[in-house]
């Protein structure tokens, strides 16, 4: 097994090279537009809608890029395997996995890629992607459903009105307890370019916001933000008459109080400048000191004509007293271990394979991946970041990561440790990295190969791990299914955050595949893991016609799975709260055992618990056969019911029951019943808990004068109705007729005759057809009457 190649010193001190460069002149401007909103929870949300973003390719073609168009040096290093490759899993496995792990926003706007980003505050998680945002509490309960990003700037009238152009960033400013959300506005009504920023009035992301709009001289692409003590800093790739980078500072103190005169200090770098796709530092934990500049970092590959692979650090010192005195200067060049940014030669490094498709995904391996996290400790400052590299010279994607330190000893920033994570033959890319207050580092990323659908995983290292090593075993947050076949775009970034409530728990959001792209939001820490526990819930009883939702619980588990002793089906057996549809065998047995199995993080840790689910039958109601009585008679009914708590007879007529709660009640027709010639009686069976729905059945009582009649239920007369139920056309056959005059009446449920047929002096069989197509759907009655008898059958028209 290959080990990480160690450098001679325990701590890797790389020479920092001070770099002199010409003084750059900033542009100072005020926000062109400002507005304060009502609370977000009270706004009229703008629902997510499909957006046409083809205009972006009209401004910058996907193939155009700062670095990839530069000359390529053939003898660039490394020649083959990455020198700091970690090609094995970490050995520390007994740490807990996800605390929360749920889906974020899906592709509700019909765009590619999602630009997945989100941050965690003291009580909320706020996710913002292309082109929608949503808010959850920290238990994973969604408080604000996905809405169009333009909702944050609703009512903010300007050239951007109606746009929702993307590249969003949302950050929690933990020092101020505020939220900062931003995206650009490019496809404007007058061709101008803007950065829209919304600052929450309080720490409540559902409250009011201050809306700002800052104008840019050209297309301000790929904005990346960082929270700092004196400004909100941002980097941009500017596309206009020439391609260049830009760095901006937005006046944080003014924006936090809703000052309409908030300013922006912009350094728009000249043509031919080196920086591209820079990242500004974004602090977690203890704020930087008041004299600490913000740091902007990017990398160069020696393949682009440089002497060695390197990280370059620029310092942004903003002066809000005299903004024109602000400076943006290159301060350090840090030599890294050799790396190879180029996984393949396809446009925009479309190099990542997927199962069952030739479509490959983009890596954006030409730049650092968001974010550049800064953290201040007592004796030193730290910055961590990452990018995608070819780990073996054969195009296998892995994640190169760095921890930089400044010990305040006059030497400035050094690379304290670095490594390249690629423990198997799957590609890992589009990473995001952060360090918590304990010095533990978490690294999240996408994973894919010809056999693995794009998924989300993470690894990490404890503070005492060997330098350059991710000593935690990899954890899969969500397994992907399927492949993205129509588009190459992926990412363009993800976000690893640290919970400010404990400065220990990590929150990560990333894209994955499952019938289209989706996003995942997960939280985890490195606490020692206990053995899994599981509770399937208490035994329960439900009505046999309902779907049951389980109420399982588990701790210290990597995953769970429901199984049944019967033949029912779970909607999502991997969910604690799964839906269960009972099967025929379940109902026949009257009960079924449901088992919840939890799989722990410790190898071999599997535990199960079961609950008994019993089924209560629904009521049965049978009112009896339709029949005929003489008009001066009462009728004793022959109702039948099962599984009922009680029964009740009701009439559509004006007759009376002697005991309407008895199955064998006696019914005496009223005057209206006799005039109408019939009456419908209804038997209702009421359920026993937990069933809720009553069941009814009807019987038609035909009332006849009975002059000279004999038994109306003559056994030698039969009636066949085919088909019954019918959609309209009905064939009838009357057998056993003996030289009689026959009258056929069709009645509705109110006893009204709607159709009559007469046959004179017939014998044997009567065959004919009824056309019921012109009558409404429902129940009708087919009444056959001679001088000697009456018979009635029910017709159902569907």
Q: Is 285 in the same domain as 388?
A: yes
CB 775 within 8 A of CB 733: no
Q: State residue 604's pLDDT score.
A: 86
Residue range 202-216: mean pLDDT, rounded: 98
pLDDT at 440 exceeding the cut of 70:
yes
DSSP string, 463-509: TTSPTT---BPPEEEE--BS---S-----S--EEEE-TTTS--EEEE
Q: What is the 3-state secondary structure (H, E, C) of 94-139?
A: CECCEEEEEECCCCCCCCCCCCCEEEECCCEEEEECCCEEEEEECC
pLDDT in tens, 103-132: 999 999 999 999 999 999 999 999 999 999
Show which of 475, 501, 524 is a domain's final residue.
524
* Dihedral in degrees, nearest 10, Cα atoms 74, 79, 80, 82: -110
What lies within 8 Å, CB to CB, of 330 at 6+ separation is: 19, 21, 312, 313, 314, 315
Evaluate whether residue 299 is within a structural domain: yes
Helix (H, G, I), strand (E, B) or coil at 150: helix
What lies within 8 Å, CB to CB, of 701 at 6+ separation is: 626, 627, 628, 629, 635, 667, 669, 673, 678, 679, 680, 681
pLDDT at 664 exceeding the cut of 60:
yes
Show which of 576, 597, 616 is a domain's final residue.
616
Evaluate whether residue 46 is within a structural domain: yes
CB 703 within 8 A of CB 673: yes
pLDDT in tens, 705-732: 764 333 344 567 888 898 888 888 989 9
Q: Is 693 in the same domain as 784?
A: no
Confidence of residue 455 (pLDDT cuts 50, 70, 90): very high
Domain span at 770:
716-798
Q: Which one has a higher pLDDT value, 64 or 144?
A: 144
Backbone dihedral angles phi then psi of residue 539, each to the nearest 5 degrees:
-60, 145
Whole-model pTM?
0.74
Q: State residue 516's pLDDT score.
A: 94
Confidence of residue 750 (pLDDT cuts 50, 70, 90): low
- Tell me the two tokens of residue 471: 């000593």
Q: How many domains does the chain have?
A: 4
Q: Is 586 in the same domain as 701?
A: no
What value does the mean pLDDT of the chain take?
Answer: 91
- Tell me the two tokens of residue 458: 């993470």
pLDDT in tens, 232-252: 999 999 998 888 999 999 999
What lies within 8 Å, CB to CB, of 727 at 6+ separation is: 773, 797, 798
Q: Is 84 in the same domain as 163?
A: yes
Lowest mean pLDDT among 66-80, 263-277, 520-534, 557-571: 66-80
Residue range 353-382: mean pLDDT, rounded: 98
- Distance set, CA 705 to CA 628, 629, 677, 708, 709 (Å): 10, 9, 9, 9, 9
Q: Is 67 in the same domain as 150?
A: yes
Evaluate whether residue 668 is within a structural domain: yes
pLDDT in tens, 547-590: 999 999 998 887 899 999 999 999 999 999 999 999 999 999 99
Smallest Cα–Cα separation from 488: which of 454, 521, 452, 457? Answer: 454
Instruction: Give me the CATH number covering residue 540.
Output: 2.60.40.10
Q: State residue 663's pLDDT score.
A: 96
Report for 70-74, 473-477, 538-542, 624-628: range of highest mean pLDDT: 538-542
């Amino acid at each position: 097994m290959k080990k990480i190649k160690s450098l001679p010193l325990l701590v890797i001190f790389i020479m920092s090279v001070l770099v002199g460069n010409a003084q750059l002149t900033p542009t100072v401007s005020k926000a062109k537009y400002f507005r304060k909103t009502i609370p977000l929870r009270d706004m009229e949300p703008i629902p997510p809608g499909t957006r046409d973003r083809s205009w972006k390719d009209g401004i910058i073609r996907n193939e155009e890029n700062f670095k990839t168009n530069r000359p390529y040096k053939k003898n660039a290093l490394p020649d083959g395997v990455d020198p700091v490759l970690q090609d094995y899993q970490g050995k520390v496995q007994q740490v807990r996995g996800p605390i929360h792990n749920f889906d974020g926003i899906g592709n509700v706007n019909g765009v590619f890629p999602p630009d997945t980003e989100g941050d965690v505050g003291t009580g909320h998680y706020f996710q913002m992607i292309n082109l929608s945002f949503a808010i959850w509490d920290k238990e994973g309960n969604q408080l604000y459903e996905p809405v169009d990003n333009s909702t944050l700037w609703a009512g903010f009238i300007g050239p951007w009105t109606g746009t929702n152009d993307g590249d969003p960033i949302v950050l929690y400013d933990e020092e101020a307890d505020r939220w900062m959300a931003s995206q650009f506005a490019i496809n404007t009504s007058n061709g101008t370019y803007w950065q829209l920023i919304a600052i929450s009035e309080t720490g409540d992301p559902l409250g009011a916001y201050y809306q700002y709009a800052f104008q840019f001289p050209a297309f301000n692409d790929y904005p990346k933000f960082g929270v700092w003590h004196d400004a909100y800093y941002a980097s941009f790739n500017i596309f206009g008459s020439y391609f260049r980078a830009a760095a901006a500072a937005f006046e944080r103190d003014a924006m936090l109080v809703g000052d309409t005169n908030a300013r922006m200090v912009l350094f728009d770098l000249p043509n031919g400048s080196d920086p591209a796709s820079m990242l500004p530092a974004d602090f977690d934990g203890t704020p930087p000191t008041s004299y600490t500049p913000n740091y902007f970092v990017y990398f160069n590959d020696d393949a682009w004509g440089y002497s060695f692979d390197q990280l370059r650090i620029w310092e942004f010192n903003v002066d809000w007293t005299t903004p024109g005195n602000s400076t943006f200067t290159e301060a350090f060049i840090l030599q890294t271990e050799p790396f190879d940014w180029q996984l393949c030669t396809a446009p925009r490094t479309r190099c990542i394979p997927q199962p069952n498709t030739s479509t490959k995904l983009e890596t954006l391996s030409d730049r650092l991946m968001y974010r550049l996290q800064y953290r201040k400790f007592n004796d030193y400052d730290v910055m961590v970041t990452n990018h995608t590299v070819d780990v073996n010279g054969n195009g296998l994607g892995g994640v190169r990561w760095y921890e930089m330190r400044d010990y305040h000893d006059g030497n400035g920033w050094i690379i304290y440790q670095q490594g390249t994570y690629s423990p198997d033959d799957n590609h890992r890319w589009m990473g995001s990295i952060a360090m918590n207050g304990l010095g533990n580092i978490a690294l999240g990323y996408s994973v894919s190969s010809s056999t693995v659908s794009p998924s989300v995983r993470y690894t990490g290292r404890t503070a005492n791990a060997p330098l350059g090593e991710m000593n935690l075993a990899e954890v899969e947050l969500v397994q992907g299914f399927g492949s993205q076949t129509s588009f190459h775009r992926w990412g363009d970034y993800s976000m690893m955050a640290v919970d400010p409530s404990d400065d220990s728990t990590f929150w990560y959001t990333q894209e994955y595949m499952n019938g289209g792209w989706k996003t995942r939001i997960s939280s985890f820490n490195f606490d020692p893991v206990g053995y899994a526990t599981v509770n399937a819930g208490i035994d329960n009883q439900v009505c046999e016609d309902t779907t049951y939702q389980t109420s399982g619980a588990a701790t210290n588990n990597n995953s769970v799975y429901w199984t049944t002793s019967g033949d029912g089906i779970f909607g999502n057996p991997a969910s604690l709260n799964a839906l269960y549809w009972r099967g025929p065998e379940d109902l026949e047995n009257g009960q079924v055992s449901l088992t919840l199995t939890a799989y722990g993080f410790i190898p071999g840790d599997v535990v199960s618990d079961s609950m008994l689910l019993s089924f209560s039958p629904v009521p049965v109601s049978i009112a009896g056969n339709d029949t005929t009585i003489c008009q001066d008679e009462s009728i004793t009914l022959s109702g039948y019911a099962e599984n009922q708590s009680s029964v009740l007879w009701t009439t559509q007529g004006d007759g009376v029951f002697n005991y309407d709660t008895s199955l064998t009640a006696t019914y005496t027709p009223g005057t209206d019943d006799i005039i109408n010639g019939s009456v419908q009686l209804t038997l209702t069976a009421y359920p026993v808990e937990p069933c809720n729905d009553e069941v009814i059945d009807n019987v038609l009582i035909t009332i006849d004068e009975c002059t000279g009649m004999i038994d109306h239920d003559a056994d030698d007369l039969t009636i066949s109705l085919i088909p019954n139920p019918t959609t309209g056309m009905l064939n009838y056959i009357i057998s056993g007729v003996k030289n009689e005059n026959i009258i056929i009446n069709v009645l509705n449920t109110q006893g009204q005759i709607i159709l009559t047929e007469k046959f004179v002096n017939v014998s044997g069989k009567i065959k004919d057809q009824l056309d019921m197509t012109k009558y409404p759907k429902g129940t009708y009655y087919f009444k056959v009457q001679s001088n000697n008898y009456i018979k009635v059958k029910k017709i159902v028209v569907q």
